[in-house]
Amino acid sequence: MQFIKSVYTLVFFLFPVLLLGQSTYIPIGMKDYTLIERLEIKVKDPDLYFSTIKPFNRKNYTRYIERIDSLRYADESVANKLSKVDEYNIERFLTNNAEWTRREDLNKPQNIFSHFFKSKGNFFEAKTPDFYIQASPLLNMQYGNERGYDKPIFQNTRGVYIRGRIADKIGFDVYFTENQERDPRYVQQYVQNIKAIPGAGFYKPLGVIDGYDYTEVRGSVNWKVTKFIDMQFGYDRNFIGNGFRSLFMSDFSNNGLFMKINTRIWKLNYENIFMELIQPNAFIANGGRLLPRKYFRMNHLSINATKWLNLGIFDAVMFGRGDRFDFMYLNPVIFIMPGQQQIGSPDNTMLGIDFKANIAKKIQLYGQVNFDEFFTKTLKEDPKSWNNKYGYQLGLKYIDILGIKNVDLQLELNRVRPFTYSHLDSSSNWTHYNQAFAHPLGANFQEYIAIIRAQPLKRLYLNARAIYYRQGLDSLGLNLGANPLRSYQTRFRGTALEVGSGNLATSLMLTLQASYEIAENLFVDFTLNRRSFTTALGGMSPDATIFSGGIRWNIARREFPF
């Protein structure tokens, strides 16, 4: 409650002005993200270059896509860059966000019957001068088999997604699902270890062996303060980065309560996020008791340095104050470290930089570097010291590879030193609800990712992905820096540490996916996963070969790529 009061104080102290019209956000993982990332590389539209911040504002990106849609009729150079599948995806994007498009053919007159499937992607839709609402069912029914495991694996998700706005001033969205699932054995082992479902949090045992039952609720309200400033208050996930992974802040862990301020003006985009999170706790899955809280404050400033280069600066802190927010961190100005020093703060501060560069309208280079703790002198004199806590990401996206339309390649390297993300105690480590708040592996690893995405037909989506990593795990009770849940005060104090020090684990996950869209946002899915995992000391999870298929409606895939 104190955090909510702090948020309200910030809102009304900083922005005591009339509210303006605002939009909701596109859920992370939906097919729209692939289209936006392709257009960002193909078309020189500087507004698209701010896509480092996710989820995407529905109104803003509809206007950007609509602008590109109009240019393909007026500018032959733009039309030549877009394939027939790109044009189809643009049409579907605008159809699914018809409340924000100016195209008259997507805003049909309404009667009592036209509220249903008025837009092909929306089950129910109603609009008046003062009120708009859209509601769609959510469904994910997957069934499969893991070789060597005598029980079927499955996902059974039903729910509803509602979005709308009131008086053209307040936007709102609600996402609710009821879920039952039996996951592959390596995921079951993960749940047993951390007492939480990946990306979901609290769960109850299902009435079948090895099954889980849980609900997921997300929701937010959104409003525009001025022409350049948007605000959002809700319970959801956020992601900062241009890659498959993020070393700053990812959507891997559970949803969290947050307040977001986004300022976009000139060539700048400035995002502030204030969050209330859950401290790691051994009783987290039991229910019936109030869990201790901790807090997170983040600033991210990005600038379009040129027409092809975007640079970003990241500044964040994780801290605990006995279930209360520290008002010092309500200051939305970037680089709060001098203020921390004035009050003797022991909090976990992280700085970072990110970039992306578009080359020849075919390739995007991107990357991140985070500095959890970094001493120039130590790095030079003792590069293997545990004090050198940092990580970096390098990636490449190559669209229409070798001239093959709608076949895209993504390559990514992630490397994080031991003890990055860990800190003095559970109130300041880089975790939420017993799960990593950034990269799923935590720290002390090097990872390679290769992804090929293809859309050979308008409704057929193919995906091949390989993930290989090497990680130094804790062994014999020694803390060797892989697990951010463990305090670095309990660290192993023997020899100097390198990435991979400890019980060396190697893993390779190969994934093949095919989805066919039989109707708007209604997919038939097929997935084949092959995962190997070995450690130097043995005794870990067995290799897994998993095949599954099912149907999915208005919802992103649920995956466990770790």
Task: Output the six-digit token pair for 187.
Answer: 């995921």
**Amino acid letter for position 397:** K
Domains, the chain? 2-109+161-553 (2.40.160.130)
Distance CA 51, CA 174 (A): 23
All residues at 6 or more sequence positions from 426 whose CB lies less than 8 Å from its CB, including other chains: 279, 280, 281, 292, 294, 320, 485, 487
Distance CA 190, CA 507 (A): 15
| Residue 89 vs residues 309, 361, 492, 524: alpha-carbon distances, Å | 26, 19, 52, 18
Q: Which residues pair with 177 in a beta bridge?
A: 159, 216
pLDDT score for 21: 56
- Name residues whose C-beta falls within 8 Å of residue 548's C-beta, 6 or more positions apart in sequence: 142, 143, 144, 145, 153, 525, 526, 527
Bridge partners (DSSP) of residue 416 are: 391, 445
Owner of token pair 């020090």: 501
Label each residue of 430-457 as H, E or C: CEECCEECCCCCCCCEEEEEEEEEEEEE
Long-range contact pairs involving 122-131 (C-beta distance under 8 Å, separation at least 24): 122/96, 122/98, 125/99, 127/99, 130/166, 130/167, 130/168, 131/164, 131/165, 131/166, 131/167
Q: Please tell me the number of Cα atoms within 13 Å of 496 on its side-chain side.
A: 11
Note whether 461 and 446 are within 8 A (CB).
no
Alpha-carbon gap, residue 183 to 155, rounded angstroms: 8
List, in sequence order, every residue forming a beta bridge with 219; answer none if it has no partner.
174, 235
Start-to-end Cα distance in the chain: 35
Q: What is the C-alpha to C-alpha distance for residues 42 and 52, in angstroms, rounded to an integer?
A: 17
What sign results for the dihedral spanned by CA atoms 61, 63, 69, 72? Answer: negative
- Give strand pairing partners of 116: 124
pLDDT at 397: 98
Residue 312 has a pLDDT of 96
Sign, CA torsion 398/28/238/436:
negative
pLDDT at 94: 93
Furthest C-alpha separation in the chain: 74
Split the chain (562 residues) into runs of 10 and give each run's mean pLDDT.
53 49 86 95 83 93 91 76 93 90 64 58 85 94 96 97 92 96 95 90 89 95 91 96 97 95 94 94 72 93 93 93 80 67 73 95 96 75 84 98 96 97 91 95 97 97 98 90 91 81 95 96 97 86 90 96 94
Q: Residue 326 has what pLDDT?
A: 82
In degrees to the nearest 10, what's the CA dihedral of 137, 138, 140, 141?
Answer: -30
Q: What angle do CA 337, 315, 336 make, to 5 degrees?
A: 25
> CB count, 10 Å around CB of 494?
9
Taking alpha carbons only, the member of 427, 422, 452 closest to residue 438 is 422
Global confidence as pTM: 0.92
Number of H helices, E strands in the chain: 8, 26
